[in-house]
């Protein structure tokens, strides 16, 4: 068995603030996810239903998998003034590419030391119960807003995973909770955080992130409260994202150069007349490319109507 510290030290050297390992076992919350889909909370994200069988075990993605290495990369920084409001994870270079490149280096290192081992990198695009695996690997626990919260660092972390056939020493699952706090529930502009089936869930059909990115309808009737790509409200109000003397690591500016190099964006008004060439320029190498030109125009116009 490979000692846990050998892996986490490599992850730290690559710039990950959070890292841990869990066994590649069947997830505990697959039935809860299935019920979430059945409740209609996935909206038009039909891929959530199609990929349910693949989410039943990491071995569906990598036969013979024994361990899952989970990592977290801090992306927090202030929103640039004057620009159209977008989620902070989309300010810099596409996080899929940034985290994947780091995990590829980790994979190469482990492959050199353990010839014949199998690996698969997953960064938000593979059918994996990511937050559950991150919880089991000790990175954080589930908040009422369904975000993964680390008690020392908060929730401003993007997740990545390296599934492997190697047997690695595992972490203990993270412990923590929100207690009686309902800051995110009360602050959510659209009431998307709902209590159903005995737990707090996000109804995507009301969530501004879903409305501005995943919803492909030509028109929006919902108030997006000024956001044109994603939304950070439930994280902005979370007490675990507010630094204090006893917890100085919370909401610290990202140290990742690819995130610090903020891609310039136009004002909301300028987005209303966005050309195809302008869309290509402002979304190149960015996670904002998920939203097509017509969506950004739609979002900007709707934000202007209800501002």
Q: How confident is residue 88, by pLDDT bands cut at 50, 70 and 90?
A: very high
Q: How confident is residue 265, by pLDDT bands cut at 50, 70 and 90?
A: very high
Percent of the chain with pLDDT over 90: 96
13: its two tokens:
């050297």
pLDDT score of 306: 76
Query: What is the overall mean pLDDT for the chain?
Result: 96
Percent of the chain with pLDDT over 70: 100
Q: What span, in angstroms and rounded, lies between the C-alpha atoms of 142 and 231?
A: 18
Q: To the nearest 10°, the Cα dihedral for 242, 203, 206, 214? A: 90
How do beta strands 157-164 and 119-122 pair?
A: antiparallel
Q: To the nearest 10°, the Cα dihedral for 192, 194, 196, 198? A: 130
Q: What span, in angstroms and rounded, lies between the C-alpha atoms of 55 and 165?
A: 18
Q: Which residues have a Cβ under 8 Å from the Cβ of 58 and sit 6 or more positions away?
A: 24, 65, 68, 128, 133, 163
Q: How confident is residue 37, by pLDDT bands cut at 50, 70 and 90?
A: very high
The mean pLDDT value for 235-264 works out to 96
Q: How confident is residue 78, by pLDDT bands cut at 50, 70 and 90?
A: very high
pLDDT score of 305: 87
Which of the residue ranges 189-193, 197-201, 221-225, 303-307 would you say has the lowest mean pLDDT?
A: 303-307
Higher pLDDT, 223 or 306: 223
Summarize the chain as % helix, strand, coil (round to 5).
40, 15, 45
DSSP string, 200-232: EEE-GGG-HHIIIII---S---S--TTEEE---
118: its two tokens:
């199998």
pLDDT at 22 over 90: yes
142-172 residue pLDDT tens: 999 999 999 999 999 999 999 999 999 999 9
Q: How confident is residue 260, by pLDDT bands cut at 50, 70 and 90?
A: very high
pLDDT score of 307: 62
pLDDT score of 125: 86
Q: In terms of Cα–Cα distance, which of 10, 19, 135, 122 is closest to 65?
A: 122
pLDDT at 226 over 90: yes
Which of the residues are catalytic? Answer: 124
The mean pLDDT value for 113-136 works out to 96
Q: In terms of Cα–Cα distance, which of 59, 41, 205, 48 is closest to 118?
A: 59
């Amino acid at each position: 068995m490979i000692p846990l510290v050998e892996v986490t030290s490599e992850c730290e050297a690559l710039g990950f603030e959070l890292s841990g390992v869990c066994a590649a076992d069947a997830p505990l919350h697959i039935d809860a996810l299935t019920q979430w889909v059945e409740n209609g909370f996935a909206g038009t994200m039909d891929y959530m239903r199609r990929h349910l069988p693949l989410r039943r075990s990491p071995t569906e993605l990598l036969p013979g998998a024994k361990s899952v290495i989970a990592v977290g990369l801090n992306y927090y920084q202030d929103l640039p003034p004057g620009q159209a409001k977008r989620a902070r994870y989309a300010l810099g270079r596409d996080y899929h590419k940034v985290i994947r490149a780091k995990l590829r280096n980790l994979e190469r290192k482990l492959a050199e030391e353990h010839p014949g081992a199998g690996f698969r990198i997953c960064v938000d695009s593979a059918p994996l119960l990511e937050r559950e695996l991150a919880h089991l690997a000790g990175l954080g626990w589930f908040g009422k807003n369904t975000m993964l919260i680390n008690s020392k660092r908060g929730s401003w972390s993007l997740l990545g995973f390296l599934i492997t056939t190697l047997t690695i020493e595992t972490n203990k699952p993270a412990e923590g909770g929100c207690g009686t706090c309902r800051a995110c529930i009360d602050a959510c502009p659209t009431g998307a955080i709902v209590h159903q089936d005995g737990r707090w869930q996000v109804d995507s059909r009301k969530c501004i992130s879903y409305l501005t990115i995943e919803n492909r309808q030509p028109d929006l009737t919902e108030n997006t409260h000024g956001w044109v790509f994603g939304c950070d409200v439930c994280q902005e109000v979370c007490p675990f994202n507010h630094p204090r003397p006893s917890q100085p690591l919370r909401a610290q500016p990202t140290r990742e150069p690819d995130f610090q190099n903020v891609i310039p964006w136009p004002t909301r008004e300028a987005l209303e007349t966005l050309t195809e060439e302008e869309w290509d320029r402002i979304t190149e190498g960015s996670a904002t490319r998920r939203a097509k030109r017509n969506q950004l125009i739609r979002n900007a116009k709707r934000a202007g109507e209800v501002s």
